[in-house]
Structure 1
Amino acid sequence: MAEILDDLDSRPGSATSLLRTTVGVSLRELGGWIALPHLLELMAALGVSAPRARTAVARVKKRGLLVPEARGKVAGYALAPDATGMLERGDRRIYHPRTMTPDSAWCALSFSIPENRRDQRHQLRRRLHWIGFGTISPALWIGPEYLADEVEEILGDLGLREYATVLISEAPRVEGSLAEAVARWWDLDALRAHHEEFLAQHEADIAPPAEGLGPREAFGRYIRSIDSWRVIPYVDPGLPPELLPADWPGERSSRLFRTLHEQLAEPSAAFVRQAFMHKTQS
């Protein structure tokens, strides 16, 4: 169920991804339920037409994030019962990404899964990549120790715990430098591209003074920035800066996201509340 809710395939910037981000940011503040006209108004503020928004709602509903729930004569959607835990886990990743230090422990996962369970083996590798693990070999993966609980959760979800061993250790011993090994285990070029794309898309979004930015525009900028950012703290595990290239853009992109959050979160929430009150009173 966790993978269905997390939806690893939504492309940032798509109507479906923007809807998921809107739900994750706003729906809990509204009590876990939203009327369809209100939801369509929020999507319109993101430049998503009503037909595209309705298609996105159908896809998100199929994924299990939202469930239809009418209140009186008003059609609407509620968070699925299993969604809150996933969203809270996402909050920790998005707003409080962690970074390893030179003294941080590591977590390695070794597994040997029977061929008749190869589909689960594929899902395991896919989800390990999604939480930021690197690949030493096809059956040996590595990441920060602080992701060990998520590894255990994935193994439990897939029913593969009996086929895996989780190892917690100090810095791995490798031939050559650990920085060279890290560059083999992770696709640092791909991670760099995520950070640089976020910077290119949103460095110009640093908000002007509050009086120059309306709540609707703040909402649009805020949701789009989170939608672009939210993948990064998953695929980038927060490797120690000492093991990364000197010009690594991770801190710049993290600092930009923190600034956008500080400037836009409250006016964005104000727009959501205003739109909600308008719809409930009309």
Structure 2
Amino acid sequence: MDVDAVDAVDVGDAPPPRPQSLVLAFFGNHVLDRGEGDLGVYSGSIIDVLGRVGTGEQAVRSTLTRMVNRGLLRRQREGRKTFFGLTPHANGILRDGGQRIWRDGAVNEDWDGTWTLLGFSLPESWQRQRHDLRSRLTWSGFGVLYSGLWIAPGRVDVRGIVSELGLDAHVKVFHARADEFTDIGLMIRESWDLEALAARYLAFDKRWATADLAAADPVAIRLRLVAEWLRIIRTDPRLPVRHLPEEWPAREAQETFRRIAEQTEGPAGRRAAEVLETAPLRSASTASLRSASTGTP
């Protein structure tokens, strides 16, 4: 295996994706829609694939363990081998990410003029809950309008987020339209860091638009491509394009992403099928019974 295969594409000074992001991109690309029910992947296969983008074996093993502890992956022993599969929670995250990547896109041209306003007030000691809520709101496209008051374009259903965090009693949500008096363009510039977002799109397009894929490992390239793109759109609230600066760079960056994703889809899928060792995962209840009878953790 050539662990430097991804170097065939000049990624410049792009920060390397976190191992967890690469693991999720791996499962999203090669496991999620295999159509074979719950599928586990041998840890050695995951180490092989992530090694192609320069992630070391120990980092992969540590990441897999943390993801099991966080409820993102489940682990199953088969003889001397360990297989990892998606939990329902991780499945939902990947399908949400897939919606953002492949269907919604990075350019919002069909905004209907509505906004979602969310206000919250949490006790000072709830630092973890505050961090979790802010992270989930950012992922859902919210920006800070005022302290404790967040805003997002369109009608955003945040009931699942709020209830999952146990904050129903501390959050108020409204859907509204801006009065003509409101300068929407100015509000957007004040609530979101457009310069930083535009810079990320420009840097992505510069890295990938002229990439020579001929000599590159398609599995490694597609994994790095999707992980990088998802990292960018996670911070993009999909603001209405008519209120953004002219020549907003998300459009060209998205065209570059989709072109390379299409070029690598077939080759990456075929290569992955050759190197991945998989096994069906038992249901959680069956696994629990088996562990109880054998004494295995």
TM-score bracket, normalised by the shorter chain, equals: 0.7 to 0.9
In structure 2, the residue matched to 1:112 is 121
Distance 1:104 1:64, change over 3 A: same
Deviation of 1:129 (Å):
2.0
Matched, 1:232 2:232: yes
Equivalence map 1:1-282=2 (5 Å):
12-28=16-32, 29=34, 31-98=38-105, 99-101=108-110, 103-115=112-124, 117=126, 119-146=128-155, 148-149=156-157, 151-170=158-177, 172-173=178-179, 177-205=183-211, 207=213, 212=214, 217-276=217-276
- Would the aligned equivalents of 1:12 and 1:18 in 2 still touch at CA under 8 Å? no
- Would the aligned equivalents of 1:109 and 1:142 in 2 still touch at CA under 8 Å? yes
Residue range with higher mean Cα deviation, 185-194 or 54-63:
54-63
Deviation of 1:252 (Å):
1.0
Higher helix residue share: 1
Please list every run of 5 or more consecutive structure 1 residues that lacks an aligned counterpart in the other structure: 1-10
* Bigger relative CO (Cα 8 Å, ≥ 6 apart): 2
Distance 1:71 1:121, change over 3 A: same
- Would the aligned equivalents of 1:16 and 1:56 in 2 still touch at CA under 8 Å? yes
1:93 & 1:12 partners in 2: Cα distance? 21
1:50 & 1:112 partners in 2: Cα distance? 43
- Name the SS of the counterpart of 1:266 in structure 2: helix
Please list every run of 5 or more consecutive structure 2 residues that lacks an aligned counterpart in the other structure: 1-14, 280-297
- Name the SS of the counterpart of 1:113 in structure 2: coil
Aligned length, in residue pairs: 260
Deviations 1:45-96 (A, max 9, x none): 2233333332332333333322221124432212224321221111111222
2:52 & 2:98 partners in 1: Cα distance? 23
Distance 1:48 1:166, change over 3 A: same
Deviation of 1:188 (Å):
0.8
> What amino acid sits opposite 1:68 in the alignment?
R
- Would the aligned equivalents of 2:111 and 2:154 in 1 still touch at CA under 8 Å? no
- Would the aligned equivalents of 2:76 and 2:82 in 1 still touch at CA under 8 Å? yes
1:35 & 1:268 partners in 2: Cα distance? 18
What's the RMSD between the two structures over aligned residues? 2.5
Distance 1:81 1:111, change over 3 A: closer
Give the TM-score normalised by the residue count of structure 1. Answer: 0.82
- Would the aligned equivalents of 1:206 and 1:259 in 2 still touch at CA under 8 Å? no
Deviation of 1:100 (Å):
4.7
2:240 & 2:212 partners in 1: Cα distance? 28
1:243 & 1:108 partners in 2: Cα distance? 18
